[in-house]
Each structure stands twice: as structure tokens, then as C-alpha cells.
Amino acid sequence: MGQRILALELGGESVRAALADRTLKQLDLIDLFEQHRGDGEHDLVGALSRIVATSGPPDLTISCLPGETVAKRLLALPFADRRRLNQVVPFALEEHLPFAIDDAIVAHARIGRRESNSIVLAACARREEVRRHLDLMARAGLDPKTVTLGAQALAGLLAHARNGQKRPHLMLEVADESTSIILVDEAGGIRALRTIAQRLDLDAPAARTLLATIRQTLLAHAHELHDADIVVAGPRAADQAFREELSADLDLPVLEFGDFDCSTLIHGAKETTRFAGCLGMLLSEAPVEPLELLNFRQNEFSFRGRIKGIASWRLPAALAATLAGVAVLHLLLAIMVNARELHVLDSAIAASVAPALGDTDPATARATLQNKLKEMNGRLRLLGGNLAGGSPLDILLDLSRAIPASVSIRADSVSIDDTGVKLEGSADSFATVDLIKRALERSGNFSSIEVEHAGTGSDPGRVEFRLSARLNSGAGL
């Protein structure tokens, strides 16, 4: 058992209600109720009390104000931030109100987007009307969390129904003492919303005025909403003769709200035509993608009660906490196992490289070994080991043989490495330096011979020079 939610729709002479059970995944419809005002009863407190006695005390209650007592307006605002909406919406509504804004409770709900603007349904009701409604509910032992507008909930139910968004619809909610006209576009957005304090009774002379209002609504949006179907809901909508007569008067097909599939929204939904408003209000408490509804419980009327049914969530919460604990424990154990394996691997690496490197960080052992091998290979080459063409002594011998004995040269330094040989010294003339270069070229052991520097030095009569040569294959390192 989850949380029991009761949605109430109050008419002039009756109360309709839908009771649902909210679980972690879905809404399950428990039952539908309808009670009429009894003889001698001056208000609907008795009908409400009888519903509560039949259904049992709910954990959470949702109710709605009569649509004809609420002023409504669709606003296109260039932002979606709730704080800014709270500041701007009352001022945007003020010029459309027949009473001072200070005497009203303003509510708003975001119902869609149009280009870069947020489409907001803004509504206001007199404080006295909200106070009277909450007092009526309190006398029946109820404290609703949300006081909304039934027509908006009805449009939201149609927009979210499985087959409700294929084309635009003009919805008519025909209640006992009022008729709501709601124009919903093909994307499910509300384009017009109006409630008239008059029942649509096609046999009454006043019905002509209502039918004219419906036609005017369709004509006003004809350029953007083509071939809209008429959908009727409410107490009279189940009457087939009424629907056929309405279709003939408007010359348009008329559908019953029950033709739309709401089973994916509320499991076990039934009697969707007569109780559509109540079912739509239940969607505001859906566990997944709840419907954003107007809520007149603002300012001094803010809901401060305790939502019951929290105990029913203790078991799922405890299970969720246990699963979270198990997941954390599993993570910690995995970290500990990985840390142990890393420690064993580091110990094995340290033991393997200790004879060559000594005490070395296992994380850098590979790079250290590579550098050490490169260094040792260099030393071996200089000592004549691991070479195919001879040692540095062999290269010195080749160099000595290449230079004629008759040449007067004094070698100050000879360096041998992987790049070749570098010879620095002094000779008796520039011609001698050139002779040394040509002698090395003729030997066949050297190539790319360059005299990098040749010039007079501090010793008079001597030419200082610096010469480099590459080693040919068979003579180099």
C-alpha cells in the first residue's frame, strides 16, 4: 500500500472524487465517488463527509475552485525562472482584473514554450473565495495540499493521454452549473481557456449564446488550429443523445473523453468522461513527470499541514538505504582488494629490480631500468664492447695512420662518441690543416669531414684548428 490521494471536484449540487494509490512507479485508481447535496443541507460539507466516510481518510487531498470564480490569462514571457515569474505575473494580470490585485491570490503554471518565450497560465481568485473553499473543506475534516483549477487538470489529462496529441481539440466540460471551454493544440498546449457560469443545456434558449461563444473560440484560432475535434467531459458528456445534438449544432464531430486512453497515466482508470477533472488532478502527484498545476495555496493560505502516509514509505526507504549501504560496502571492498593486489605487485617489482637498481620506486622502475640500460650500452661502446667495428683505440689508430708522419701537428684533444671524432690542435700553416683533411678523406674510414675552425692563435706562427669527421661503417661505434 502506497499513499492514498483523494482528488475532489465540487459542483453546485454534487461532489465528484477519485481515490488513487501512489506507489514508487505508478498511480493506481482505487475507486470513484459521487455524492449529491442532501435535503436540508445548505452546502456540500455533508456530501464531502460522506465521501470521506466511504473512501476512508486520505493521506493527501487535492481540490479545485469553481472555474467561473477564477480570472485566467495566458501570458508569453521571455524567461522561465520561477522567482522572476512570481514577481512579474501579478503585475501582468492586474490590468485584466475586475478587482484590486491586493484582494486576490495569484497562481501560475508553465504549460509550454513558444519560440523563445515561456507560455504561462496565470490565474487569480479573490481571497474570500479561497478562504470560503478551505473553510468548507476543513469542516469536512480535509486540508488540501493543492487547490487548483479543474479545467487545467482536464487539459493536462488529455495532453498526456496515449492518443491525445494527434490533432487540436476543443474541450467542453459540461458541469452542473458551468461550462468550461478549453482549446488544446496538437502539442497538448492550452491556447484558450474560459469558464462560463451556465450549464450547456441545448434545449434552453440560453444555449444559443453558449454555442455562439464556442464557434467564436474556434474562429479566433482557425488560422493556427485546423479541423479541431470537439471533446466533451463532465456529468452530461456520457449522454449520447446530447453529443449527437451538439455535433449537429456545431457541424463538427463530437468525441467523448472516454475515447482517449489514459491507462498509461493512471492504472485502472475508468469513467474518464464523468470524472476526467478528478483524474487530471491526480496527475499532479504522479511519481513520474507530475503535471504542473495552478495552486492557490499561496501566502497566508500556504499548506502547512502534515502529509499522511509517510509510514507507508518507510519500508521502501529502508530498502533503498540498505541497497545504498551494500553498494558502498561493495565499493570499499573492491578498493581494498585492488590496493592489496597493487601492494603485492609493487613488492614483486621492487624485489626484481633491487640487484640492479637498489631501493627504487616500483612506479618508476621500468623507466629507471631503461635509462640504466642506455647508459651501460654507451659505456660498453666506449670500452669497445658490443661493437662490430672496433674500440676507441682502433679509431685512434686509424686516425694516426691516416695523417702523414711528415705533417707537423700538435693535437690538444681528441673526443670520440656516437657522432664521430672531434680533433682540436694546432698546425704550422693553413695548408697543413687542409692536408690533414684530405688525408682523412683518402683513408676511407671517415666521411663528412669539416674544418669547423681555423685561425691564428696565441702561439706565433701556429694555426689553431677544430676538425670533425663521421665514422664510416667498420670504423665507427
pLDDT in tens, 431-467: 888 888 888 888 888 888 888 888 887 777 888 888 8
Residues 327 and 295 in one domain: no
Give me the domain span that covers residue 378.
Answer: 320-382
Residues 363 and 260 in one domain: no
Residue range 185-212: mean pLDDT, rounded: 84
What pLDDT, on the 0 to 100 scale, is given for residue 388?
41
In-domain check, residue 313: no
Residues 234 and 371 in one domain: no
> Is residue 121 a contact partner of residue 108, using CB atoms and an 8 Å limit?
yes
The backbone torsions φ and ψ at residue 463, rounded to the nearest 5 degrees and listed phi first, read: -110, 115
Residues 13 and 160 in one domain: yes
Q: What is the CATH number of the domain that holds 427?
A: 3.30.1360.100
Residues 374 and 404 in one domain: no
Residue finishing a domain among 308, 337, 359:
308
Number of CB atoms found within 10 A of residue 55's CB: 17
Residues 291 and 142 in one domain: yes
| Angle value at C-alpha 55, between 262 and 141, nearest 5 degrees | 115
Say which residue, 353 or 278, is predicted with more confidence.
278
Residue range 351-357: mean pLDDT, rounded: 77
Residues 420 and 340 in one domain: no
Q: What percent of the chain has pLDDT over 90?
A: 20
- The DSSP 8-state label assigned to residue 175 in this structure reads -
Q: What percent of the chain has pLDDT over 70?
A: 91
What pLDDT, on the 0 to 100 scale, is given for residue 149?
92
Beta bridge partners of 198: none
Number of CB atoms found within 10 A of residue 262's CB: 24
Average pLDDT value for the chain: 83
Is the pLDDT assigned to residue 409 strictly greater than 70? yes
Q: 41-69, pLDDT tens digit by residue?
A: 889 999 999 999 999 999 999 999 988 88
Say which residue, 392 or 451, is predicted with more confidence.
451
Residues 267 and 200 in one domain: yes
Can you give the pTM of this predicted structure? Answer: 0.64
| All residues at 6 or more sequence positions from 21 whose CB lies less than 8 Å from its CB, including other chains | 1, 2, 3, 4, 5, 27, 28, 30
> Is residue 40 a contact partner of residue 90, using CB atoms and an 8 Å limit?
no
Is the torsion defined by CA of 173, 178, 184, 190 positive or negative?
Answer: negative
Residue finishing a domain among 363, 382, 401:
382
Residues 296 and 326 in one domain: no
Residue finishing a domain among 331, 361, 382:
382
In-domain check, residue 146: yes
| All residues at 6 or more sequence positions from 196 whose CB lies less than 8 Å from its CB, including other chains | 68, 178, 179, 180, 181, 210, 213
Residues 117 and 56 in one domain: yes
Say which residue, 109 or 236, is predicted with more confidence.
109
> Is residue 114 a contact partner of residue 91, using CB atoms and an 8 Å limit?
no
What pLDDT, on the 0 to 100 scale, is given for residue 381?
62
In-domain check, residue 45: yes
Query: 3-state DSSP helix/strand/coil percent for the chain, to nearest 5?
Result: 40, 25, 35
Work out how many domains the chain is built from and give that number. Answer: 3
Q: 259-316, pLDDT tens digit by residue?
A: 888 888 898 887 778 888 999 999 999 988 899 999 999 889 999 887 765 444 555 6
In-domain check, residue 314: no
Beta bridge partners of 228: none
Is the pLDDT assigned to residue 81 strictly greater than 70? yes
In-domain check, residue 315: no
In-domain check, residue 387: no
Q: 131-175, pLDDT tens digit by residue?
A: 999 999 999 999 999 999 999 998 888 888 856 556 788 889 888
In-domain check, residue 477: no
What pLDDT, on the 0 to 100 scale, is given for residue 134?
95
What pLDDT, on the 0 to 100 scale, is given for residue 165?
58
Interior/surface letters 349-367, b for 16+ CB within 10 angstroms, e for the rest: bbeebeeeeeebebeebee
Residues 249 and 363 in one domain: no
Q: 93-106, pLDDT tens digit by residue?
A: 777 666 667 788 88
Q: What is the CATH number of the domain that holds 168?
A: 3.30.420.380
Beta bridge partners of 3: 22
Kindly list the strands in the beta sheet with 463-471, ordered across the sheet, starting from the edge strand earlier in the chain: 409-417, 420-427, 463-471, 446-456
Residues 300 and 425 in one domain: no
